[in-house]
Amino acid sequence: MWLVGARGSVGTTAALGLAALAEGHAPPEGCVTAGPAFDGVPLPGWRDLVLGGHDVSDVSLTKHAEALVDAGMIPAPLLAATAHALDAADAEVRPGYRGPLAPGQSQRDVAERLAADLTAFAARHGLARVVVVDVSSTEPPVDPLPEHTDPRALEAAASEPGRQVLPPSSVAAWAAVLAGAAYAGFTPSAGMGLPALRALAAERGVPVAGQDGKTGQTWLRTALAPAFADRGLRVLSWAGTNLLGGGDGATLADPDAVRSKLATKTRGLRDLTGTDVTPLHIDHVPDLGDVKVAWDHVHARGFLGSRITLQTTWSAHDSMLAAPMVLDLARLLALAHARGEAGVVPALGFFFKDPWGSDVHAAADQARALVTWAATAR
Amino acid sequence: MWLVGARGSVGTTAALGLAALAEGHAPPEGCVTAGPAFDGVPLPGWRDLVLGGHDVSDVSLTKHAEALVDAGMIPAPLLAATAHALDAADAEVRPGYRGPLAPGQSQRDVAERLAADLTAFAARHGLARVVVVDVSSTEPPVDPLPEHTDPRALEAAASEPGRQVLPPSSVAAWAAVLAGAAYAGFTPSAGMGLPALRALAAERGVPVAGQDGKTGQTWLRTALAPAFADRGLRVLSWAGTNLLGGGDGATLADPDAVRSKLATKTRGLRDLTGTDVTPLHIDHVPDLGDVKVAWDHVHARGFLGSRITLQTTWSAHDSMLAAPMVLDLARLLALAHARGEAGVVPALGFFFKDPWGSDVHAAADQARALVTWAATAR
Amino acid sequence: MWLVGARGSVGTTAALGLAALAEGHAPPEGCVTAGPAFDGVPLPGWRDLVLGGHDVSDVSLTKHAEALVDAGMIPAPLLAATAHALDAADAEVRPGYRGPLAPGQSQRDVAERLAADLTAFAARHGLARVVVVDVSSTEPPVDPLPEHTDPRALEAAASEPGRQVLPPSSVAAWAAVLAGAAYAGFTPSAGMGLPALRALAAERGVPVAGQDGKTGQTWLRTALAPAFADRGLRVLSWAGTNLLGGGDGATLADPDAVRSKLATKTRGLRDLTGTDVTPLHIDHVPDLGDVKVAWDHVHARGFLGSRITLQTTWSAHDSMLAAPMVLDLARLLALAHARGEAGVVPALGFFFKDPWGSDVHAAADQARALVTWAATAR
Amino acid sequence: MWLVGARGSVGTTAALGLAALAEGHAPPEGCVTAGPAFDGVPLPGWRDLVLGGHDVSDVSLTKHAEALVDAGMIPAPLLAATAHALDAADAEVRPGYRGPLAPGQSQRDVAERLAADLTAFAARHGLARVVVVDVSSTEPPVDPLPEHTDPRALEAAASEPGRQVLPPSSVAAWAAVLAGAAYAGFTPSAGMGLPALRALAAERGVPVAGQDGKTGQTWLRTALAPAFADRGLRVLSWAGTNLLGGGDGATLADPDAVRSKLATKTRGLRDLTGTDVTPLHIDHVPDLGDVKVAWDHVHARGFLGSRITLQTTWSAHDSMLAAPMVLDLARLLALAHARGEAGVVPALGFFFKDPWGSDVHAAADQARALVTWAATAR
């Protein structure tokens, strides 16, 4: 498992959690693939996974974990029990790429350098395969270019020294393809979302999945909205607001970055309800730390025009929701890779706000599709 | 469509709503069977349904509807447009039975009298079939008797003058069987829930469904709880409280009656979550009128023992949720009857807190089962 | 009572409500001055108040009231009982001013025309005095000019044909001064808020009060925030969001207009809690009609750094909160005028988000100050 | 400071917190008397307070504190820094009394034994005075006896061997009087609430205050309810529910004990709002630990009968709210004692759900009364 943005909150929590599960310090609660529906499915075990990654930060996993302990998110004894594993994982973190390019350097040069890190990592540990999961902080939306839809044109443009045809997240995605690694895009950043890159992944025979982890509020909405539809209740508006601190909160306080997020957060809801009245806000509230609080107000019309309202308030540590899904994706993409699936794996849409290769957003339908897909591997 | 408790809030709303739909005064929002999934299914149309019922109350449907207009639940113009239909339906309401028995009278006498009302109603209007829906107020739980599980013993006991072997709701259910009418139990009262009666229904070849309409809070819970399970999130407690006024609120202020309700409300939740910590209250708050407000607090444990909480506040006119489901059940049981289905119809579990013939409580799974069943009739 | 923006939702509700109170169709619930604390205070009675106003809209009060009936805000019988009074009030509505100026016209010309309407109104009905209340829709913030702080310079500039030195709301406020009428600014628009105008009001001997009616969420916050302080609980953040439809919602969907509102809404909170983390949003949700739903999330730190959270959800018809306060202000400013008070009346700060002449925001302290002031008139 | 029930959650938190404040490990947030309004008031400093108490439990303060650390309520470093102080306090805990009496023993014997513990404690540490605060778990309501209102009759009855005329909490209160110690009743138990005991306290010249700490939901209600009244908004119903785990939750799961609590919780609300519709529940939800979650739903009627609803959800560690108030009471009663006040001190009503010697429940008014009283000591 190779994490782009390994030293962030999600990466740190995933690393610590993987060690805790492998060594039996915690039950696999929050892990979809630990459920009875996955019994007998040939997924790699917790002990089979080795962790490495790219990051632009110098703050070690252990240092970050200590901050999460101080914030009351991670119990101190759990860090003590897994510190050695965090150090080992941190030793496998290589410098990432967020731009700009060095003089005379091309994005292909960067992608090949990143790919070499993956190959060396696999060789060093004698791994059967590598799964890359992008958990780095959200980028602003990219302006579409012709090269983004044409693999050959993209390869040519990315070979021009100094030309930045790809956002950093897409360079990292391309590196996965070059190294023959499976890939999951857990953020709303472009990453492997560009058609040209997904075509290259299919050519290269690597499975990919995305996009933007459906961890909390959006997951809740896609569990509730279909229920209204099944009852014939007409949703008139679905308004929401999010409060969060932590690094993610700071990133999303940037109006540019937040645009990517808000777009993926409301798309599914509009599909499921048919309403366009879905005002949504994300506020940076530093004192909340990593806790995210999300409030939704649903106004629906029922029989004879009667008024129905539903409010939900969701509160959870965002990284604690994301980390187990990252581990699930690593196991499931390893399975897909082993089974020779190439390109987008639609059955993994369950994990994403903006599912690639599927227009299904309803949480229950996605869960069934995932279980059905996994069952075929028994 | 024959309603036991026709003059209550649900009966009045169903009668007024049926007229509004039949005459195009309102869209069928809130009706499950009006959704695209039921296109081409040979269900009776709104205009095909004729309404009658039993009740112990002398307050006419129109009088009750006026009260609902004053309470702000029903728009005055809608009552004006449907008053004639309410008068017609009210003319088809016959005296119900809530006990006690007249001297020398047996419960069989009563059941036959009620059955005769059904038969005459069908003959008077040249109906192909009758569907009985019990929407009368909730009875206290009944103490089990041997006769409740043995059809022959039940018939014998119910023939003894003065012997009250059945609660009133079950006498009404038996009457439906005697008249060869389909039956739905929309309340938690015993009704057709007694094994002996369901056996008689199967013998007589009538389809039955129940029990206790899953209209609001419980429906919401059965949409949410499976989503937690699909994510591997462990629900530790699910506490709730209900505030409601209106007639139902007054009935449930009776600690005896409320026991029946609370039992069915939490059963599904325990199955879906595995937790036994599900404190639940129903408070009579007269000033809320027919509006029911329900608050739930869910405490779950996620990855590495992290704390997750979800609160929901649901607010709706309870009768406006129940009435369209009553109409749906009349259409669907008419279909089942026409297709010759006898005894419990498990596919109708979608509508009930305590589904007969099924242990499926998850709302999405129930919706799929219902649609699949209906599709086979296309 | 002269309303600037008489034909809006607040104006319509105030007009209908005044008639309902004068004729005994409704109890004075929601009216501060109807409480026991005001017994024996020589305030004008409901029957003593005559209504007129300015507006740029041609939609009559009755037409607007009918819309509020359809929206379920006002009971139909109440409109029927007060329609005659609405017609009478509507006959006293004169064309308002929202700019621009006619060729060769100065803002002084406009102000004198508006003042003449006030004087004629008073003469026509033999009124002892006139109280102007600005309930028109919110204007964007104004760029400060030197003339706004210098009465003489303002009078000179406003006399120049074609020069728009004042926003429309301030022209209306100036008109009140010219006519010797008391004035209350119920909106966040500049109005009488410009120092030069308040100086003119003091010179002319008219009492004024403002600014921006503290009707719902902000009132609630100023009741709660002092309680946290009294307990020594440290508020770290106070995040909120507002959902509303109706005309006000549409106006505040304009990012310019909403800036005025958000500024006054958070000022008091910062004073009372000391925190700067007060993200706040106002979303236009048309399907909610005149209902405003406001959610707040308070995060505080208690003993030994322990975490405390409070959420509030407020739901009410915004115009139904504002209208009685408008009537209260008319009565209280009439009293102030009768007592010869000139310039800002700080004791009326109770009614406003941004109280002129006072830095007290705590609701309980403002209530006491108001009652104390009124008591001196017994 | 002498705590009855010293080894419970509140006692443990107060002991640990006092040490943290005295040694500067935490700011005095949550302490009323640390606010600017008390500058210059001659209250004992944190370092001046010595802690002891009675308890029937053998679990040491440190052991209990460790459990609170594991529960995530108290930070581990804070316990480490204060463990020595907890050991010292625990060494001053003497066996308490919860009944029954030993053969031949009278309740006077017990009270004198408890009083001797107080006197010895004061002597051992050279204390100017002792303040007893009852923080023991809630007792069921007591059946009134004539002796409870007649000091002499009470003393006689309590001298009869084997006669249990007083509940345990009242024996502890009597002991305080016998030892000349000030007393605060922080629980709803009878304690010093019996008229005969309060008379004895007055005779003996000791100041007393009570009853039942107003820590969370009730405090919030008494901050909000007066604001509704000041606005002329008519509260129709105020429904609430409490979820809590921990020891207090277990105690209140006992229907008998909870009766005492529910009575004091709703009394003030009825006074402030005039409504009798105040359904309230307390549910034991063990998985919540010491966190208490309280939901309230307020339904009010405003102008022209319009509907207003307010919901509040309060979440906090109950012991973290209570402990600083216990420290405040110790300081304030020490001041009252030093000033020679005897009997009930009404100005301390701010701290209690059921204030002795006062019918003021409004939080803001109580805060002002408290500050005014303290100011007279400057």
pLDDT bucket at B125, cuts 50 / 70 / 90: very high
Task: Report the candidate in D361, D370, D352, D368 with the shortest Cα–Cα distance to residue D226.
Answer: D361
| Out of C239, C287, C301, closest to residue A277 by CB | C287
- Contacts of C among chains (3+ CB pairs under 8 A): A, B, D
User: Among the three residues B317, B333, B359, which one is the final residue of a domain in this structure?
Assistant: B317
User: Among the three residues B299, B317, B335, which one is the final residue of a domain in this structure?
Assistant: B317
Asked whether residue A249 carries a pLDDT value surpassing 80, the answer given is: no
Asked whether residue C247 carries a pLDDT value surpassing 80, the answer given is: no
Residues C287, C358 share a domain: no
Backbone dihedral angles phi then psi of residue A133, each to the nearest 5 degrees: -125, 125
What pLDDT score does A331 carry?
Answer: 98
What pLDDT score does A276 carry?
Answer: 84
CA D64 to chain CA centroid, nearest Å: 19
Burial class of residue C104, CB neighbours in 10 A (0-12, 13-18, 19+): exposed
What pLDDT score does B247 carry?
Answer: 67
Go through chain D and tell me how many residues it has: 378
Chain C residues with CB within 8 Å of chain A CB? 236-237, 239, 241, 243, 277, 279, 281, 283-288, 293, 295, 297, 299, 301, 311, 313
Residues A133, A27 share a domain: yes
pLDDT digits (tens, 9 = 90+) for D83-92: 999 999 999 9
Asked whether residue B360 carries a pLDDT value surpassing 70, the answer given is: yes
Distance from CA of D73 to the nearest CA of A (A): 10
**Which uninterrupted H or E stretch holds A240?**
strand A234-244
pLDDT digits (tens, 9 = 90+) for B296-305: 999 999 999 9
Which tokens sit at D118?
Answer: 């107080």
User: Among the three residues D270, D290, D317, which one is the final residue of a domain in this structure?
Assistant: D317
Residues B156, B104 share a domain: yes
Helices and strands (DSSP H and E) totals, chain A: 12, 11
Bridge partners for A317 per DSSP = A291
Per the CB < 8 A criterion, the answer to whether A265 and A329 are in contact is no
pLDDT digits (tens, 9 = 90+) for B305-333: 999 999 999 999 999 999 999 999 999 99
Residues A108, A120 share a domain: yes
Distance from CA of B254 to the nearest CA of A (A): 27
**Mean pLDDT of all residues in A345-372:** 96
With beta carbons under 8 A apart, name residues in chain D contacting A76. Answer: 76
pTM (2 d.p.): 0.94
Taking CB atoms and an 8 Å limit, are A316 and B309 in contact across chains? Answer: yes
Distance from CA of B289 to the nearest CA of D (A): 11
Structure ipTM over 0.90, yes or no: yes
What pLDDT score does D364 carry?
Answer: 96
With beta carbons under 8 A apart, name residues in chain A contacting C293. Answer: 297, 309
What pLDDT score does A236 carry?
Answer: 96
Q: CATH code at C122? A: 3.40.50.720
pLDDT digits (tens, 9 = 90+) for A84-128: 999 999 999 999 999 899 999 999 999 999 999 999 999 999 999
Residues B37, B163 share a domain: yes
Taking CB atoms and an 8 Å limit, are C295 and A311 in contact across chains? Answer: yes
Distance from CA of A217 to the nearest CA of C (A): 16
Per the CB < 8 A criterion, the answer to whether C340 and C6 are in contact is no
Bridge partners for C133 per DSSP = C3, C184
Go through chain B and tell me how many residues it has: 378
With beta carbons under 8 A apart, name residues in chain A contacting D314. Answer: none
Task: Report the candidate in C243, C234, C306 with the shortest Cα–Cα distance to residue C277.
Answer: C234
With beta carbons under 8 A apart, name residues in chain D contacting C308. Answer: 315-316, 321
Low-confidence ranges of chain D (pLDDT < 50): none
Residues A136, A14 share a domain: yes
**Which uninterrupted H or E stretch holds D239?**
strand D234-244
Taking CB atoms and an 8 Å limit, are B281 and D237 in contact across chains? Answer: no
pLDDT bucket at A247, cuts 50 / 70 / 90: low
| Out of B16, B231, B313, closest to residue A30 by CB | B231
What pLDDT score does D177 carry?
Answer: 97
Residues B281, B255 share a domain: yes
For residue D35, give its domain range: 2-213+320-375
Taking CB atoms and an 8 Å limit, are C237 and A285 in contact across chains? Answer: yes
pLDDT digits (tens, 9 = 90+) for C93-122: 999 999 899 999 999 999 999 999 999 999
What pLDDT score does C271 carry?
Answer: 87
With beta carbons under 8 A apart, name residues in chain D contacting B70. Answer: none
Taking CB atoms and an 8 Å limit, are C285 and A293 in contact across chains? Answer: no
Taking CB atoms and an 8 Å limit, are B72 and C72 in contact across chains? Answer: yes
Residues C283, C145 share a domain: no
Distance from CA of D74 to the nearest CA of A (A): 10
pLDDT digits (tens, 9 = 90+) for B210-238: 999 999 999 999 999 999 999 999 999 99
Find the helix packing angle between A195-204 and A168-178, rounded to 10°: 10
**Mean pLDDT of all residues in A127-132:** 97
Please tell me the distance from the alpha carbon of residue B295 to that of residue A284, in angstroms, as a whole number.
Answer: 28
Mean pLDDT score across all residues of chain B:
94
| Out of D16, D29, D73, closest to residue C232 by CB | D29
Taking CB atoms and an 8 Å limit, are D304 and C20 in contact across chains? Answer: yes
Taking CB atoms and an 8 Å limit, are B303 and A315 in contact across chains? Answer: no
Asked whether residue A373 carries a pLDDT value surpassing 70, the answer given is: yes
With beta carbons under 8 A apart, name residues in chain B contacting D301. Answer: 287
Query: Hey, of C233, C236, C237, C293, which one would you mutate to test binding to chain A, going by the most A CBs within 10 A of its CB?
Result: C237
Neighbour tally for C378: CB within 10 Å? 9
What pLDDT score does B246 carry?
Answer: 76
Residues B362, B326 share a domain: yes
Residues B327, B301 share a domain: no
Residues D330, D291 share a domain: no
CA distances from D356 to A10, A40, B106, D131, D345 (A): 53, 67, 63, 17, 8
CA A255 to chain CA centroid, nearest Å: 21
Q: CATH code at D238? A: 3.30.360.10
Per the CB < 8 A criterion, the answer to whether D3 and D137 are in contact is no
Taking CB atoms and an 8 Å limit, are C76 and B76 in contact across chains? Answer: yes
Asked whether residue B243 carries a pLDDT value surpassing 80, the answer given is: yes
Asked whether residue C270 carries a pLDDT value surpassing 90, the answer given is: no
Taking CB atoms and an 8 Å limit, are D305 and C26 in contact across chains? Answer: yes
Taking CB atoms and an 8 Å limit, are A311 and B316 in contact across chains? Answer: no
Residues B327, B309 share a domain: no
pLDDT digits (tens, 9 = 90+) for C285-343: 999 988 999 999 999 999 999 999 999 999 999 999 999 999 999 999 999 999 999 99
Q: Strand pairing of D291-301 and D280-284? A: unpaired
How many structural domains compose chain A? 2
Asked whether residue C156 carries a pLDDT value surpassing 90, the answer given is: yes
Task: Report the candidate in C56, C4, C9, C58 with the shortest Cα–Cα distance to residue C245.
Answer: C9
Asked whether residue A266 carries a pLDDT value surpassing 90, the answer given is: no
pLDDT digits (tens, 9 = 90+) for B150-176: 999 999 999 999 999 999 999 999 999
Nearest residue of chain D to residue A75 (CA atoms): D72
Distance from CA of A264 to the nearest CA of B (A): 20
Query: Hey, of B242, B277, B280, B312, which one would you mutate to test binding to chain D, going by the most D CBs within 10 A of its CB?
Result: B277
Which tokens sit at A301?
Answer: 């019309």
